[in-house]
């Protein structure tokens, strides 16, 4: 973390530096835990799919994947990390010793501040068909990207489809056989620093069919 090297110049109290470091450590640890449990979810889904329709029929599938251990934080987390960081950036930029070309560049806080309601922000989805395949249109809105989920009407409900960091997203899943149609439904949620934020988008319903 580069902030301590500017603490005296910018008048940042030691307690604030400590909290910033603890926030960064806690959030990084939490992201790591989410990654572990997302991988566990994939393992569980694979186990469930094997139970449902694995082959050969009647073959043992072994024991269910073990639940990962949960993390223990070195320092108790406190709410609103992003809110504190945003306020600190405002304080830094308001300091007469702040120089965007040097300090701002080094700390990565150059540019206009974009105020985002992290709790309520949600993607707005639309689409166009490209050779029959849905191209899901969305806007970044100052965030990192989106997680996209799809329901292909197979009875499985919404399943994770992709992480997309550059609009737009072309769904290349095979189209229905000639003469058949299908309804695919999509939802998305924004991500920031690899963490889902805000609310899920409204449902986007697309009818697809073969172009051949």
The answer to whether position 121 is within a domain reads no
Percent of the chain's residues with pLDDT above 70: 97
Average pLDDT over residues 174-183: 93
Arithmetic mean of pLDDT over the chain:
89
Q: Can you give the pLDDT at residue 107?
A: 84
Q: Tell whether 94 and 136 lie within a shared domain.
A: no
Say if residue 12 is in the same domain as residue 66: yes
Asked if 103 and 130 sit in the same domain, the reply is no
- Asked whether residue 9 falls in the same domain as residue 102, the answer is yes
Q: Examine the pLDDT at 115 and tell me if it is beyond 60.
A: no
What average pLDDT does range 17-33 have in this prediction?
89
Consecutive H or E run containing 26 = helix 14-53
Number of domains in the chain: 2
Q: Report yes or no on 113 lying in a domain.
A: no
Check residues 120 and 155 and name the one with the higher pLDDT. 155
Residue 112 has pLDDT above 70, yes or no: no
Task: Say if CB 152 and CB 161 are below 8 A apart.
Answer: no
55 and 95 in a single domain? The answer is yes
CB 196 within 8 A of CB 130: no
162 and 189 share one domain: yes
Domain membership of residue 20 (yes or no) is: yes
Is residue 82 situated within a structural domain? yes
Does 43 map to a domain? yes
pLDDT of amino acid 116: 64
Question: What share of the chain in percent tops pLDDT 90?
Answer: 54
Same domain, 72 and 159: no
Read off the CATH number of the domain in which 188 is found: 2.60.40.10
Verify that 135 and 98 share a domain, yes or no: no
Q: Are residues 163 and 204 in the same domain?
A: yes
pLDDT score for 87? 87
**Angle ∠(61,63,67) on CA atoms, nearest 5:** 135
pLDDT on residue 153: 93
DSSP E strand boundaries for 138-199:
145-151, 159-164, 169-170, 181-192, 195-197
Query: In the predicted model, what is the mean pLDDT of residues 107-125?
Result: 74
pLDDT at 101 over 90: no
* pLDDT value for 123: 94
Statement to judge: residues 181 and 87 lie in one domain: no
Q: Is the pLDDT of residue 82 over 50?
A: yes
What's the distance, Cα to Cα, between the start and end of the chain in Å?
A: 56
| CB 83 within 8 Å of CB 162 | no
Could you tell me the two tokens for 49?
A: 């799919």
Query: In 3-state terms, the chain is what percent helix, strand and coil (to 5)?
Result: 35, 20, 45
Last residue of a domain, one of 48, 75, 107: 107
- Report the candidate in 151, 152, 202, 150 with the shortest Cα–Cα distance to residue 181: 152
Q: Residue 155's domain spans which residues?
A: 126-209
Same domain, 69 and 130: no
HEC assignment per residue over 133-144: EEEEECCCCCCC
Note whether 101 and 160 are same-domain residues: no
**pLDDT of res. 114:** 47
Residue range 30-36: mean pLDDT, rounded: 85
The residue from 73, 107, 141 where one domain ends is 107
Q: Does 18 reside within a domain?
A: yes
């Amino acid at each position: 973390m580069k902030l301590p090297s500017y603490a005296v110049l910018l008048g940042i109290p030691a307690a604030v530096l400590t909290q910033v470091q603890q926030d960064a450590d806690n959030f990084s640890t939490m992201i790591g835990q989410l990654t572990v449990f997302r991988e566990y979810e994939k393992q569980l889904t694979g186990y469930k799919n094997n139970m449902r329709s694995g082959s050969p029929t009647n073959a043992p599938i072994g024991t269910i994947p073990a639940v990962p251990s949960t993390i223990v934080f070195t320092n108790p987390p406190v709410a609103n990390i992003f809110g504190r960081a945003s306020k600190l950036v405002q304080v830094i930029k308001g300091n007469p010793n702040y120089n965007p070309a040097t300090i701002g560049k080094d700390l990565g806080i150059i540019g206009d501040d974009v105020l985002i309601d992290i709790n309520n922000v949600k993607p707005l989805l639309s689409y166009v068909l490209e050779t029959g395949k849905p191209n899901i249109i969305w806007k970044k809105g100052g965030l990192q990207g989106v997680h996209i989920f799809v329901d292909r009407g197979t009875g499985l409900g919404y399943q994770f489809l992709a992480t997309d960091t550059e609009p737009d997203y072309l769904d290349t899943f095979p189209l229905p056989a000639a003469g058949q149609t299908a309804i695919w439904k999509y939802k998305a949620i924004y991500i920031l620093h690899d963490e889902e934020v805000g609310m899920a988008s409204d449902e986007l319903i697309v009818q697809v069919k073969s172009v051949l």
